């Protein structure tokens, strides 16, 4: 084979150059690998003491530690040897952080609006102190019956109602005051004498007061509104019933208990809230009457009064009680917060008559109609205001609604059962009506912790 001499020399030179490059790369890789192996071996050997067992390593997570190089190549990078320092010197002036030459954001004026009716939050003083209300004469008195604040202490109720009083003055320039009443008799006299212009109470208290006013000529009660419980819960045992959802009372037992009917509860241990009287007392009395039980004889082997209804249900879960009588709001809250679905079941359920209402009387409308109507309007719009939402939250209420015909049909139908509870109180429930009865105030801070 004959080839051109100069061309053959050029090809040979190219091949020789490529061969030298490949050999150089192979040698460099071998040198680095040997260095890594040597240093790794040296570090590992130095850490193993005589005896062959490595010492226990204790890490202090709070102390800052440098990153040790694992091999010669990483030490070369970390310590920035001469060649890398030369690169740094040549490149630093090209990679400097640019100077901040942008203008600051313009200050938004306080009077600016995000949307119609929604002002921009003042970034200088986002939470200014509330402007104190000027002193004003009280022109309307609102009575709150103990049947509506239930397990709260009187001081807690007065503290929680104060934002509503301030809200009414701020919105409609009417100053109100609150008074706490323990019985329906006090409510009746307060309305009749004009000492109280409006009342919030349990619907059974209202029906009692209504029956007493019906005996008076040219006077009577006026129902203004009712409260929807927060997060209403319904139960399959209710079926197709009338009334406000979430206003029933439940008998709750453990899921694996042997109780299948209310008759099986004879001799069981009952737990219920001490100050939650009207609806639970009515329901239990009706149950005993339906079972043809002698109300002068005990039906339960033990009746434990608890301060909070949630503790009555947890007592059932912990085996301290066999059955708890609580409102649907308590059961629903425990299901949401503690996830006890599947651990309890509802044995029986009452009609929907556990309802709070707002009312006044004709003699108060004749003298204070404007104040009554404006206060009612503020109560039915509480959820529109942060302070109002706080009041609703404290009383476990979703919202207040104006009364319409038929809203209290169910409580009126079962009012006779409440009268039976008051007139012929079962021996098991007499402590509910005793203000001096001993109450177990221990409470579970968290599920399982007492």
CATH code for the domain in which residue 325 is found: 3.40.190.10
Statement to judge: residues 281 and 386 lie in one domain: no
**Tell me: the pLDDT tens digits for 109-140?**
657 777 887 777 777 776 767 778 888 899 99
Bigger pLDDT: 325 vs 98: 325
d(CA 354, CA 249): 7
d(CA 46, CA 200): 82
pLDDT of 70: 85
Domain that residue 364 falls in: 138-219+356-407
Statement to judge: residues 279 and 203 lie in one domain: no
**What is the 3-state secondary structure of 370-414?**
HHHHHHHHHHHCHHHCHHHHHHHHHCCEEEEEECCCCCCHHHHHC
> Is 224 inside a domain boundary?
no
d(CA 348, CA 256): 16
pLDDT of 53: 59
Phi, psi dihedrals of residue 416, rounded to the nearest 5°: -60, -35
Tell me which residue of 376, 364, 371, 368 sits closest to 400, measured CA to CA.
376
> Is 424 inside a domain boundary?
yes
Q: How many domains does the chain divide into?
A: 2
∠ at Cα 285 (283, 290), nearest 5°?
Answer: 95
User: Does residue 219 register a pLDDT over 50?
Assistant: yes
Handedness of CA 174, 177, 178, 181 (dihedral sign): negative
Statement to judge: residues 302 and 428 lie in one domain: yes
Mean pLDDT of 266-290: 94
Statement to judge: residues 176 and 208 lie in one domain: yes
User: Of 388, 407, 426, which one is at a domain's C-terminal end?
Assistant: 407
pLDDT of 81: 80
Per-residue burial over 35-73, b if 16 or more Cβ lie within 10 Å, else e, is eeeebeeeeeeeeeeeeeeeeeeeeeeeeeeeeeeebee
Statement to judge: residues 446 and 331 lie in one domain: yes
CB 163 within 8 A of CB 157: no
User: Does residue 185 register a pLDDT over 60?
Assistant: yes
DSSP-based three-state secondary structure for 115:
strand
> Is 124 inside a domain boundary?
no
User: Does residue 164 register a pLDDT over 80?
Assistant: yes
Statement to judge: residues 148 and 275 lie in one domain: no
Statement to judge: residues 372 and 441 lie in one domain: no
Statement to judge: residues 241 and 332 lie in one domain: yes
> Is 120 inside a domain boundary?
no
Tell me which residue of 414, 435, 434 sits closest to 425, measured CA to CA.
434
Statement to judge: residues 186 and 304 lie in one domain: no
Q: pLDDT above 70 covers what percent of the chain?
A: 80
Statement to judge: residues 350 and 370 lie in one domain: no
Q: Classify residue 440 by its DSSP letter.
A: B
User: Does residue 12 register a pLDDT over 70?
Assistant: no
Ordered alpha helix ranges (H), 151-304: 154-172, 184-193, 203-213, 278-290
> Is 165 inside a domain boundary?
yes
The tokens describing 121, both together, are 């939050």
CB 271 within 8 A of CB 330: no
Question: Of 14-18, 44-48, 258-262, 440-444, which has the strongest mean pLDDT?
Answer: 258-262
> Is 310 inside a domain boundary?
yes
Statement to judge: residues 201 and 143 lie in one domain: yes
d(CA 277, CA 150): 8
Confidence of residue 15 (pLDDT cuts 50, 70, 90): very low
> Is 89 inside a domain boundary?
no
The tokens describing 125, both together, are 């003083």
- Residue 183's region, left for phi above 0, alpha for psi from -120 to 50, else beta, is beta
pLDDT of 43: 42
The tokens describing 3, both together, are 């080839």
> Is 125 inside a domain boundary?
no
- CA distances, 334 to each of 56, 181, 233 (Å): 48, 30, 11
Statement to judge: residues 235 and 249 lie in one domain: yes
């Amino acid at each position: 084979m004959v080839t051109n001499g100069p061309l053959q020399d050029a090809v040979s030179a190219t091949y020789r150059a490529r061969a030298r490059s490949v050999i150089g790369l192979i040698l460099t890789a071998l040198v680095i690998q040997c260095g890594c192996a040597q240093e790794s071996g040296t570090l590992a050997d130095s850490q193993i003491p005589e005896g062959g067992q490595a010492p226990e390593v204790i890490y202090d997570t709070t102390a800052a530690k440098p990153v040790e190089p694992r091999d010669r190549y990483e030490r070369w990078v970390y310590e920035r040897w001469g060649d890398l320092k030369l690169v740094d010197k040549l490149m630093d002036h090209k990679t400097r952080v640019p100077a901040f030459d942008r203008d600051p954001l313009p200050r938004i004026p306080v009077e600016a609006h995000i949307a119609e009716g929604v002002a921009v939050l003042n970034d200088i003083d986002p939470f200014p102190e509330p402007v104190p209300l000027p002193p004003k004469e009280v022109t309307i008195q609102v009575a709150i019956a103990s049947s509506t604040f239930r397990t709260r202490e009187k001081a807690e109720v007065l503290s929680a109602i104060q934002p509503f009083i301030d809200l009414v003055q701020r919105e409609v320039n009417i100053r109100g005051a609150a008074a706490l009443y323990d019985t329906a008799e006090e409510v009746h006299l307060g309305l009749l004498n004009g000492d109280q212009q409006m009342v919030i109470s349990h619907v059974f208290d209202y029906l009692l007061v209504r029956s007493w006013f019906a005996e008076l000529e040219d006077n009577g009660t006026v129902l203004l509104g009712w409260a929807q419980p927060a997060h209403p819960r319904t139960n399959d045992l209710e079926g197709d019933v009338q009334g406000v959802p979430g206003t029933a009372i439940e008998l709750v037992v453990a899921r694996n208990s042997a109780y299948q009917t209310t008759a099986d509860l004879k001799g069981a241990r009952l737990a219920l809230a001490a100050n939650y009287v009207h609806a639970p007392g009515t329901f239990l009395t009706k149950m005993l009457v339906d079972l043809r039980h002698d109300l002068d004889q005990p039906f339960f082997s033990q009746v434990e009064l608890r301060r909070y209804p949630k503790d009555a249900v947890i007592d059932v879960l912990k085996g301290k009680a066999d059955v708890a009588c609580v409102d649907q709001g308590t059961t629903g809250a425990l299901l949401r917060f503690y996830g006890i679905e599947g651990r309890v079941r509802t044995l029986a359920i009452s009609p929907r008559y556990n309802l709070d209402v707002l009312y006044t009387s004709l003699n108060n409308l004749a003298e204070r109609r404007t104040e009554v109507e404006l206060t009612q309007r503020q109560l039915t719009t509480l959820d529109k205001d942060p302070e109002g939402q706080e009041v609703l939250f404290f009383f476990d209420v979703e919202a207040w609604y104006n009364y319409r015909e038929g809203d209290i049909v169910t409580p009126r139908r079962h009012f006779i059962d409440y009268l039976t509870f008051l007139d012929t109180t079962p021996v098991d429930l007499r402590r509910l009506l005793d203000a001096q009865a001993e109450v177990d105030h221990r409470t579970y801070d968290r599920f399982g912790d007492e």
